[in-house]
Amino acid sequence: MKIYIPIGILVLLLLVGCTNTPAPTPVPLTITDLSSQCGVVGETIIITGTSFGDTQGSSVVTFNGVPATVNSWTNTQIEVLVPSGAITGDVVVRVNGINSNGIRFTIPCYGPMQGMIVDQIK
């Protein structure tokens, strides 16, 4: 009889300790904003988003496929330099082999005001 009491208590504790609580849903790797939608080579751009990871590790940021130099990296914000050789296209963050969504980045900046300034200089 003494043998069954400890085994019974152990079984009861195991059953109480087991729950069917689902694992938390991971937050997707997403870029939500760029500090600027356009720029020039060497300019600092801040990428805001989710699930970048606390440190860069082997993760990369690309501008239309061209890797960028990273100045700082947190789980929600990355500071990078627009890389040499980059052309207009998507900025993408790649973490653990998974790509974020892309955000369009124009190199260099062109707009109605810039066209007017060029026309006035001529």
Q: Is the pLDDT of residue 122 over 70?
A: no
Strand intervals (E) in 8-102:
30-34, 44-50, 60-63, 66-67, 69-73, 77-81, 89-95, 98-99
Second-level CATH architecture of 30-109: Sandwich (2.60)
- Chain mean position to CA 45: 13
Q: What is the per-residue pLDDT across 18-66, written as a single tens digit (0 to 9) for each?
A: 566 777 778 899 999 999 999 999 999 999 999 999 999 999 999 999 9
Name the pTM for this structure: 0.73
Which amino acid is residue 17, in one-letter code? G
**Predicted pLDDT of residue 5:** 57
Segment of 13-22, 45-54, 109-118 carrying the highest mean pLDDT:
45-54
Break the chain into its structural domains and give their ranges: 30-109
